[in-house]
Amino acid sequence: MIVGVPKELYPGERRVAMIPDHLPALIKKGFEVIVQAGAGYEAGFTDDSYEAKGAKIAANRDDVFQKADIIVQVRAYGAEEKKGAEDLQRMRPGQVVVGTTDPLGSADAAKDLAEKKVLTFSMELIPRITRAQSMDVLSSMASVAGYKAVLLAASALPKMYPMMMTAAGTIAPAKVFVLGAGVAGLNAIATAKRLGAIVHAYDVRPAVAEQVESLGGKFVELELDTADAQDSGGYAKEQGEEFIKKQREMMLKVVAGSDVVITTAAIPGKKSPILVTEEMVKGMSPGSVIIDLASERGGNCELTKHGETVVEHGVTIIGPENINSTVAFHSSQMYSKNIATLLALIVKDNEMNLDMDDEIIRDCLVTRDGEVIQPRVREIIGLPALQTAATSETKEA
C-alpha cells in the first residue's frame, strides 16, 4: 500500500497530513510513503526530513495521486471548497481518500466522491469512544484552538492577564469567561489560568463542572433544565430556542463583567447557536475581547464576522480563520498521529480491512463502490437508507 501526502491546497493552510516521525512505524507495517515536494515545509518539515525517515519525494501533485493507493490530507475534497475540485479530477476508482471532508456541512461533495468510486474516510466522523481517542481529529484540533484562542485574546486585550504587585500599584487580574467546556473550552480554561487570569466557564452539561474546577476555573451555575443536554458520546446536544433565550438572559451579567469571552459551541453541519447577543456586547467594557471559535458556522456571537476582526460598541470581536493552521507544527503532529492510527486499523497485511462491524470504520467510511454509505450523510442529501446490511456487504466483498 502506497500512502500519498500531497501539499494542502486551501489558501493559508500550513498543516500537513503526515509528519516524518510517524513514517517509520507505517513503513514497518508494510506501507510505502510518497510526499509531494514542499508538502510539510510551512509546518516546519523539510523534504530531507521526510527522506531521512524513509519517504520518497514526488516532484508534483499529479505524481502523488497517480502512484498512491491511499491519499491522506488535512482538507480533502468537501472541506477544501476553494480548490478541492482539482483533486477530484486526479482521483481514480478504488483509491482511498482519508482526511477531513466536512461530511455533514458539505454532504453533496460525498456524491461527487462516490461517482469517482473512491473510498472516503471522513476524520470528523470518528466516534467518541475510548478506543478511537488516538484517531479523534475533532478533539486534537480543538485542543489547539482552545489554547490559541487565549493567546489571540491576550494580544488584543489592553490589559495583562495576571495580578501583579508593582511599585506603581496593584494590577488586577483579567477576567476570562469561557462558553463551552468541551476540549477547546477546557484547554482555553487551562491556558488562561496558567497566564494568571480569573476564569469562569459555562456549559449546558452540568457534568463538566468538576473538570472546569479541576483546572482552576469556576463553573457558572444557571437555573436551567439540563437533563437532556448531553448525547451518548458526551457531546453537548443542540438546544431549543426557548432554552437558548433563557440561557442568554441569565448570562448577561457574567458576560458584562468579563474582559475576555471565548465561545466554543460549534455543532457539526449546523449553524452555531447565538449565545452572545448584541445586547450582551453593549454591556461589556470598552477594550474587552470576544474570540468566537464557532465563527466558521456563523458564530456564537451575534456580531461575529468569520475571518475578520471587528470592533463593535468598543469590543473587539475576532472570528478566527483556520486557527489550527497558526500552530502548524503541533497541529500537524497531532493530526498525523490521528491519521497514522486510523491507517493501522483500515489496512491489515497490505489489504484494506473494511470490517463494518467495527464502529470506527462503520462511522467514518462515507463512500464505497460508487455509493454514499454513511447513514447520516445519506439522510442529509436525501438518499433513502440502504436496505442491505453493511456487515453482509463486507463479507461478500
Q: Give the model confidence (pLDDT) of 274-311 as tens digits.
A: 999 999 999 999 999 999 999 999 999 999 999 999 99
| Annotation says 139 is catalytic | yes
The residues that bridge with 256 in the sheet, in sequence order, are none
Name the catalytic one among 62, 131, 133, 228. Answer: 133
> Which of 36, 106, 122, 139 is the catalytic position?
139
CATH class of 2-135+328-396: alpha beta
Do 2-135+328-396 and 139-321 come out as alike in CATH topology? Answer: yes
What are the extents of the domains in the chain?
Answer: 2-135+328-396, 139-321
Choosing from 87, 102, 136, 292, which is the catalytic residue? Answer: 136
Considering 21, 63, 112, 128, which one is annotated as catalytic? 128
Q: Which three cell numbers stand for residue 255?
A: 458576560
Residue 194 is predicted with a pLDDT of 97
Give the integer Cα–Cα distance in Å for 163 and 178. Answer: 19
Tell whether the model's pLDDT for residue 234 goes beyond 70: no
Task: Give the model's confidence band at 390: pLDDT under 50 very low, under 70 low, under 90 confident, else very high.
Answer: very low
H helix intervals, the chain? 23-28, 47-52, 61-67, 84-90, 108-115, 137-156, 183-194, 209-214, 241-256, 278-283, 328-346, 359-364, 375-380, 390-396
Tell me whether residue 155 is one of the annotated catalytic residues.
no
Name the nearest CA neighbour of 346 among 75, 168, 17, 97. 97
User: Which of 3.40.50.720, 3.40.50.10490, 3.30.70.3290, 3.40.50.300 would CATH assign to domain 139-321?
Assistant: 3.40.50.720
For residue 194, count CB atoms less than 10 angstroms from its CB and return exposed for 0-12, middle for 13-18, buried for 19 or more. middle
Question: Does 136 participate in catalysis according to the annotation?
Answer: yes
Per-residue CA distances from 279 to 25, 253, 301 (Å): 54, 11, 11
Q: What is the pLDDT of residue 397?
A: 42
Residues 6+ apart with CB under 8 A from 157: 174, 259, 260, 287, 288, 289
Catalytic status, residue 73: no
Q: Is the pLDDT of residue 161 over 80?
A: yes
> Catalytic annotation on 133?
yes
Closest CA to 137 of 83, 204, 88, 183: 183
